[in-house]
Structure 1
Amino acid sequence: MIKKIAPLLLLFLFIIGCKDTPLVSSEISFSHKDLPSCNTVACPDIFVNYPKYTGEEAVVKSINDSVKQFIIKTLYLDDPDQKPTAASIEEAAQEFIDMYRMHSAEFPDLTIDYYSEIEIEESFRSEELLSIELYQEKYTGGAHGYRSLAYGNFNIETGQEIPNEKLFKDLKTFTDVAETYFRQQHNISKNDEINSTGFWFDDNEFYLPESIGFNKKSLVLHYNQYEIASYAEGPIEVEIPQEKVAEYLTISLKK
């Protein structure tokens, strides 16, 4: 009887151990200087810092793949209607450099080198949620560079990314709450149109940004440049205290 129970006990302990495997991150840095092709020929600056997670394989693979794909997409300069095909960050960086060299050959008067800076870091973690902040800044020609900030929100048990609309029990209810905070922050009366102070909300109706994430104290609504205002206005951000939004969320922020 004991011989029959022992294997089952070991299997049970193995399963429990897998579930308790901690999600650990280490910071990885990469730059153009790591590419052999930049040892002898000058390259545009590329700097990338990002977390790489270890832990339960299925969980970390999903998170790490999402981070890697963000970096590859950011470095992609070819046909915007096509998806990038680079299989690694190094390959994507080399393609960025190759595209710069092709453009500089076509336009010899190009006076400013291209560059790309990508900073990715964990911004918040609870028992159920992992929120990652993904920032990029680059110049690829034109009057000025481009910068943006995005968030990736993941179920910490499965590693699957949570779409913005799945973060909330009732999206419309939370949107109304967010609008109240937005109006308060920008001194817009509830009786005035949301664009009365110069914002660009489509159809004069408030909506949530594409970038929604979390930091240690708040839920963050981040509107990137051009999303609801001019480039000169810069990004626009609204922070709502976690304790004020917890009841509207489908996931727990309890640590």
Structure 2
Amino acid sequence: MGLKQMAALMLGVVSFWACNQSSKKDNAVVEAGFRAGKVKKEQFGGCDTVANKGVSVIINLWQPTDSGVVATKIREILTDKTIKRLNSYGDPASATARLEAIKNPKAAFEDFQKNYNEFKKDFPDAPGCWEVELHGDTVMTTPKVLFYQFDHYAFTGGAHPNSFTSYHAFDGKTGDEIEMKRFVADSVALLNLVEKKFRELEKLTPGVDLEDAGYFLANHKFFMPANYVFTPEGVLFFYNPYEIAAYARGPIEFTIPYEELKGIIRTESVF
């Protein structure tokens, strides 16, 4: 082999190695940007426990910290969800009139506080602090998807506070939110399996009428929970209070292992 041929061969090897290392580096950056993050904490107002009044908003949300497109998109979606939930407790007319109320949590809190103050003018003796707490964290991350849990607690008067949990999936390539049903291959088989596990958890035989047993059904038919999520152990199904049972029952949740979900879910789209 001549010197020119050898030099060309060495150049090719070096170029291949460099490209391979660059590819690995790029993948590492994507993974770090997708998975690396921290909890962002915000607090507005406060409750006077002595006078039993006031308005409090606490927000603790895990967010990706990378400056890339995927992480930025996820942060934007989480912020939007936060503001919409806070605005649901404010004065609708005011929130519409004040465009800044839909742009940041502080302005949304101010509308919430305004609504509380108006309420206290009409009912000055009404006790209780109005509170909203939002907590968010990852459930599981894979190279393809980030699964997220959003816990919501609120008390704005009444017999008891309200709380609910929602689950969300974010595309690892774009940061866009995607629906959980995208990972379901056979929705009929999944519904049947979920009902079977539900009855086992609640100690109900297949012949027991769920409505006669006190559960809430949709058009007299069993239904999937609005929220379910993929975890390392399997798929977690979560019925919030009031969704299928009375408030006193609390949330109803159970996990079905992946082994029992073969052919029903698209694991290749998750992992």
If the TM-score is normalised by the length of the shorter chain, which range does it land in? Answer: 0.7 to 0.9
Gaps of 5+ in 2: 1-7, 47-52
Whole-angstrom CA distance in 2 between matches of 1:226 and 1:122? 25
Matching of residues 202-241 of structure 1 within 5 Å: 202-241=218-257
Structure number having the greater helix percentage: 2
Aligned: 1:54 with 2:65: yes
CA distance in 2, matches of 1:137, 1:111: 18
Deviation string, structure 1 residues 123-155 (Cα, Å, up to 9, x no partner): 111232211110011111222211110001122
Q: How does 1:155-166 map to 2 (within 5 A)?
A: 155-166=171-182
Do 2:58 and 2:132's aligned partners in 1 also have CA atoms closer than 8 Å? Answer: yes
Percent of aligned pairs sharing the same letter: 21
Which among 40, 53, 71 is matched to residue 28 of structure 1?
40
Listed as ranges, the matches of 1:164-175 within 5 Å are: 164-175=180-191
Query: Residue 244 of structure 2: SS of its match in structure 1?
Result: coil
Runs of 4+ in structure 1 over 3 Å off: 9-20, 82-85, 251-255
C-alpha distance in 2 between matches for 1:222 and 1:191: 23
Cα RMSD (Å): 3.1
Equivalent of 1:45 in 50, 56, 66: 56
Q: TM-score, normalised by structure 2?
A: 0.77
What is the CA–CA distance in structure 1 between the aligned matches of 2:250 and 2:111, rounded to whole Å?
Answer: 29
- 1:127 is aligned to 2:158: no
| 8 Å CA contact retained: 2:144, 2:172 | yes
Unaligned runs of at least 5 residues, structure 1: 35-41
Aligned residue-pair number:
243
SS in 2 for 1:204: coil
After alignment, is 55-64 or 172-181 more displaced?
55-64
Code of the residue aligned with 1:133 in structure 2: it is: Q
Deviation digits for residues 7-61 of structure 1 (CA, Å, limit 9, x no counterpart): xx99998777555422211111111159xxxxxxx95222110012133622112
Bigger Cα Rg: 2
TM-score (ref. length: structure 1): 0.82
**Alignment of structure 1 residues 1-255 onto 2, 5 Å:** 17-21=25-29, 22=32, 23=34, 24-32=36-44, 43-55=54-66, 57-76=68-87, 77=89, 78-79=91-92, 85-245=101-261, 247-252=263-268
